[in-house]
Structure 1
Amino acid sequence: MPLRICILETDILRPNLLKQYQGYGRMFEQLLVQQPLAAEFQVYNVMQGDYPPEQERYDAYLVTGSKADSFGSDPWIATLKTFLLERYQNGDKLLGICFGHQLLALLLGGKSERAAQGWGIGTHCYRVAGQPSWMRPALDELTLLISHQDQVTALPDNATVLASSAFCPNAAYYIGDQVLCFQGHPEFIHDYTRALLEVLRDSVGEQRYQQGVASLHQAQQGSTVAHWMMRFVAQNRAVELS
């Protein structure tokens, strides 16, 4: 039986990017379908109030990135937090990326806020701490594409740091075999990041923009993170881990 992954899309792409890239849900489908473990995906845009039917159950719920602040007071964010807390209390597996990473940390007792370090853009390298059984292939360092001005500044008490850097100390974490989150974007590709940098140029400032563009010569390991995520979801299930 293939894994069933529910993708909770928390944004709508900017008009100049929408036609080519469609949405974060679609980006994740394109990334995860390439992994060795078979899976089926269903995308729900929760920003627009779209949720899975109550009777539907999935092997994992993945919360995407967003332009919104995880600590914001938008009604749709409050609804999403209620939904995720119910899933967590039900024992369901939860995956978070960028906004999702921050929202789940906040929901489960940590803290997310505007980062004093400012914008993180381009590619970024992290030190990897520990090697859980699902983290294969194992790495000592991880490079991902990023775009964020908020960070998790305090983790939930029961969370374990998985990746960190001086710029982003809580770049990835997990909680037992139930929650796995990354600040970076495994679903991003260099062309999308480059186009996003152009959109954000005035917001991030010329120096950060130039640094971000210059960093795009580095390879990124989003596919490796996708493989970790799928193995994380599959653990304790009767499937053969690749």
Structure 2
Amino acid sequence: MTLRICILETDIIRPEFYEQFHSYGRMFKELFAKQPIPAEFEVFNVVHGDYPADTERYDAYLVTGSKSDSFGPDPWIQRLKDYLMQRYRNGDKLLGVCFGHQLLAILLGGTTERSDKGWGLGVHHYQMTETKSWMTPQVSDLKMLAVHQDQVTRLPENATLLASSEFCPYAAYSVGDQVLCFQGHPEFIHDFSQAVLDLRRPVFGETLYQRSVDTLRHEQQGVTVAEWMMRFVAEGKHPA
């Protein structure tokens, strides 16, 4: 059985990053190619207003990260919220990363805000608070690359907290067998994080920049998260 995943791309990569990294959708495709569950992907850039015509085609919808605020008033964000609510009410599986993690929390009754803790950058460590059947391989300490200053500050009432840290208490959550979200970026690699840190060094400030660069000595477990996502989508499905 090959899973069919619709990637809803919620940003456009900066021109100076295009040659090496191409797009966020492509980063996700390259990530999922490293995990063992067979899957195929189609990418639609919702900032440009691109959406799939066939909503029966996909096993899940993945909402990417974005430099935009998930609680922002942009028309494309409002359209995306309407679309995702339709998918949720239809029983479709939804995956969220960073902006997607935050947007789905808002959509399902939680709260996302600008964090008073400032920017989360580099490799972050999260403690797993739950063990689910689809979490193979299992880890107790999850390491993910992060770039965010907004955070989920209240989970939807029916959500289960999966991972947490002092800096980011709601780092991952699920809603039943339908929604799975992570604040960190499984699709990022160290080179991309370094490029972002270098580009925005004046914005982040020297102390935070140096501290964040130092964390890039640590490995990250994006491929593990990618496998969890695909196992989450596959769970309950019958082989084709």
Q: Same fold (TM over 0.5)?
A: yes
Q: What are the residue-to-residue correspondences of 1:3-14 with 2, within 5 Å?
A: 3-14=3-14
CA distance in 1, matches of 2:207, 2:56: 47
**Secondary structure of the structure 1 residue equivalent to 2:212:** helix
Tell me the alpha carbon deviations over residues 159-193 of structure 1, each in whole angstroms, 9 at most, x when there is no partner.
01100000000000000100000000000000000
**Secondary structure of the structure 2 residue equivalent to 1:139:** coil
Q: What are the residue-to-residue correspondences of 1:97-108 with 2, within 5 Å?
A: 97-108=97-108
Partner of 1:191: 191
Partner of 1:17: 17
CA distance in 1, matches of 2:17, 2:35: 25
CA distance in 1, matches of 2:6, 2:55: 13
Partner of 1:145: 145
Tell me the alpha carbon deviations over residues 108-165 of structure 1, each in whole angstroms, 9 at most, x when there is no partner.
1000010010000000000001111001111111000000010000000000110000
Q: What are the residue-to-residue correspondences of 1:50-69 with 2, within 5 Å?
A: 50-69=50-69
Say which is worse superposed, 15-24 or 213-222, in terms of deviation.
15-24
Partner of 1:162: 162
CA distance in 2, matches of 1:132, 1:213: 32
What amino acid is aligned across from residue 97 of structure 1 in structure 2?
V
Q: TM-score, normalised by structure 1?
A: 0.97
CA shift, 1:55, in A, is 4.8
Partner of 1:207: 207
* Residue segments in structure 2 that go unaligned for 5+ positions in a row: none
Q: Does 1:94 align with 2:94?
A: yes
Q: Does 1:117 align with 2:109?
A: no
CA distance in 1, matches of 2:237, 2:54: 23
Say which is worse superposed, 177-186 or 199-208, in terms of deviation.
199-208
CA distance in 1, matches of 2:55, 2:164: 38
2:11–2:67 Cα contact (<8 Å) kept: yes
Q: Does 1:80 align with 2:92?
A: no
CA distance in 2, matches of 1:225, 1:13: 22
CA shift, 1:57, in A, is 2.7
**Secondary structure of the structure 2 residue equivalent to 1:79:** helix
Partner of 1:130: 130
CA shift, 1:36, in A, is 1.3
CA shift, 1:104, in A, is 0.2
What amino acid is aligned across from residue 111 of structure 1 in structure 2?
T
CA shift, 1:33, in A, is 1.9
Tell me the alpha carbon deviations over residues 90-117 of structure 1, each in whole angstroms, 9 at most, x when there is no partner.
0000000000000000011000010010
Q: Does 1:171 align with 2:171?
A: yes
CA distance in 1, matches of 2:238, 2:3: 11
2:35–2:224 Cα contact (<8 Å) kept: no
CA distance in 2, matches of 1:86, 1:54: 13
Aligned residue-pair number = 240
CA shift, 1:54, in A, is 4.0
CA distance in 2, matches of 1:89, 1:203: 40
Say which is worse superposed, 28-37 or 52-61, in terms of deviation.
52-61
Q: TM-score, normalised by structure 2?
A: 0.98
* Residue segments in structure 1 that go unaligned for 5+ positions in a row: none
What amino acid is aligned across from residue 75 of structure 1 in structure 2?
P
Deviation >2 Å, runs of 4+: 54-57
CA distance in 1, matches of 2:94, 2:55: 18
**Secondary structure of the structure 2 residue equivalent to 1:69:** coil
What amino acid is aligned across from residue 164 of structure 1 in structure 2?
S
RMSD of Structure 2 on Structure 1 (CA): 1.1
